[in-house]
Amino acid sequence: DTEVTQTPKHLVMGMTNKKSLKCEQHMGHRAMYWYKQKAKKPPELMFVYSYEKLSINESVPSRFSPECPNSSLLNLHLHALQPEDSALYLCASSPGLGENTGELFFGEGSRLTVL
């Protein structure tokens, strides 16, 4: 199984809503990532978890709250978002930080629209 599965594929939410994005991988990878991608731009790193611990937070606003319940799951909790947060949110995994050739495996993304 070489897939990274993200749900939901599409999400529309109001600025007062609370929602979550979910990501799952069963490749035994120990590093998991959240990226944000605006239209026609490259992905921007948000968070990195290594061995279920938050290793990197790229100064992301607190309205985005990541969670790694176990080595296979990664969540991104959303609260009080702004319209400019609308984007494609990508989850990825890799065998480990600094342990491999650096290849990331991506999910198909969750398209978020904030009204």
Taking the C-alpha atoms of residue 41 and residue 5, their distance in angstroms, rounded to an integer, is 22
Under the criterion CB under 8 A, does residue 13 sit at the interface with another protein?
Answer: no
Minimum CB distance to another protein smaller for 2 or for 16: 2
Find the binding residues for another protein in span 68-87 (CB under 8 A).
none
Min. distance of Cβ 103 from another protein in angstroms? 6
Find the binding residues for another protein in span 16-35 (CB under 8 A).
33
**Residue 1 identity:** D
Min. distance of Cβ 79 from another protein in angstroms? 24
* Length of the chain, in residues: 115
Under the criterion CB under 8 A, does residue 59 sit at the interface with another protein?
Answer: no
Under the criterion CB under 8 A, does residue 47 sit at the interface with another protein?
Answer: no
Start-to-end C-alpha separation, the chain: 36
Compute the chain's Rg from CA coordinates. 13
Taking the C-alpha atoms of residue 50 and residue 97, their distance in angstroms, rounded to an integer, is 7
Taking the C-alpha atoms of residue 57 and residue 34, their distance in angstroms, rounded to an integer, is 10
Do 4 and 74 touch, CB atoms closer than 8 A? no
Under the criterion CB under 8 A, does residue 88 sit at the interface with another protein?
Answer: yes
Interface residues with another protein (CB under 8 A) are 4, 33, 40-43, 45, 48, 50, 55-56, 58, 88, 90, 92, 94, 97-98, 101-109, 111
